[in-house]
Amino acid sequence: MKTALTIAGFDPTGGAGLQADLKVFRAFGVHGLSVVAAITAQNTKRVNAVFSVSKIIIKKQFETLMSDFRPDAVKIGMIYSIDAVDIISDMIHKHSLKNIVIDPVTLSSSGTPLVEDGTLDAIKKTLFPLSKVITPNIYEASILTGIMIEDKKGMEEAARVLKDMGADVVIITGGHLEEIAVDLYYNGNFHAMKKKKLRGNYHGTGCVFSAAITALLALDYNPLEATIKSKDFISNAIKKASHPGKGMKILNI
Ligand code: PLP
């Protein structure tokens, strides 16, 4: 069985973060491994607290897993601190990990910062050059590049700048272009991927999308095929979303 590792945040609702990633890996028949790099106290309405996980704890989880497994792909999601970025990049180098997907998580949908000051810069400098795919949304792409993205042209400009930071493939997700959600895929050539926008407040969409790409890379799909299939996967998961709490809906994976 293929294996995928997620290095991400703990979300008690199960709708985002590590728990969602593991469900997605399972849905694709890939065995999921996880390293917890941050802990949140949140429900489907709000994030009440965010805690970092120390370098030592991250390293110990990593080394213990790596003495036993060799993941076929790795997803990096919410990592709160600069220290976490440093140790994760050391571990990726040390264990020569490949097929790295980075979801540069910044804010929760309810507006709470999920990273400390400086973490995004560290991710940009240290982790992007190691990555195969990065999946910022428009807001994250704007912050990472300093380009205020307002239209397709802005998305393209930001994608070029992001690719120059070292990823093989940049996918900017979720255009604000009215009824159509446009994801822009860039590997040196642009592919605009359009889908009808599904209205509503959903928790964990970014996590689920990047986890699906990771699972498919583990299964040897190329990044473009993985992205097309992941878009279908997330559309279905949104269509079948449930409302187990009182706030945002949770995707049905
Ligand atoms: N909590 C964790 C642990 C996450 O990793 C993320 C997103 O990546 C979120 C919350 C935010 O999810 P949402 O944007 O649906 O609020």
State the CB neighbour count (10 A cutoff) for residue 119.
24
The per-residue pLDDT string of the chain (253 residues; one tens digit each, 9 = 90 and over) reads: 999 999 999 999 999 999 999 999 999 999 999 999 999 999 999 999 999 999 999 999 999 999 999 999 999 999 999 999 999 999 999 999 999 999 999 999 888 999 999 999 999 999 999 999 999 999 999 999 999 998 889 999 999 999 999 999 999 997 555 566 789 999 999 999 987 777 788 999 999 999 999 999 999 999 999 999 999 999 999 999 999 999 999 999 9
Closest ligand 1 atom to the C-alpha of 18? 3
Q: How many whole angstroms from 123 Cα to the centroid of ligand 1? A: 17
Q: How many whole angstroms from 203 Cα to the centroid of ligand 1? A: 7
pTM over 0.95: yes
Q: How many whole angstroms from 90 Cα to the centroid of ligand 1? A: 25
Q: How many whole angstroms from 153 Cα to the centroid of ligand 1? A: 28
Closest ligand 1 atom to the C-alpha of 40? 3
1 CA to centre of own chain: 23
State the CB neighbour count (10 A cutoff) for residue 115.
25
- Cβ < 6 A, ligand 1 pocket: 8-9, 11, 16-17, 40, 77-78, 105, 108-109, 114, 203-204, 206-207
For 219, phi then psi, to 5°, come to -90, 15
Closest ligand 1 atom to the C-alpha of 78? 5
Q: What is the 3 state secondary structure string of the chain? A: CCEEEEEEEECCCCCCHHHHHHHHHHHCCCEEEEEEEEEEEECCCCEEEEEECCHHHHHHHHHHHHCCCCCCEEEECCCCCHHHHHHHHHHHHHCCCCCEEECCCCECCCCCECCCCCHHHHHHHHHHHHCCEECCEHHHHHHHHCCCCCCHHHHHHHHHHHHHCCCCEEEEECCCCCCEEEEEEECCCEEEEEEECCCCCEECHHHHHHHHHHHHHHCCCCHHHHHHHHHHHHHHHHHCCECCCCCCEECCC
30 CA to centre of own chain: 17
End-to-end CA distance of the chain: 20
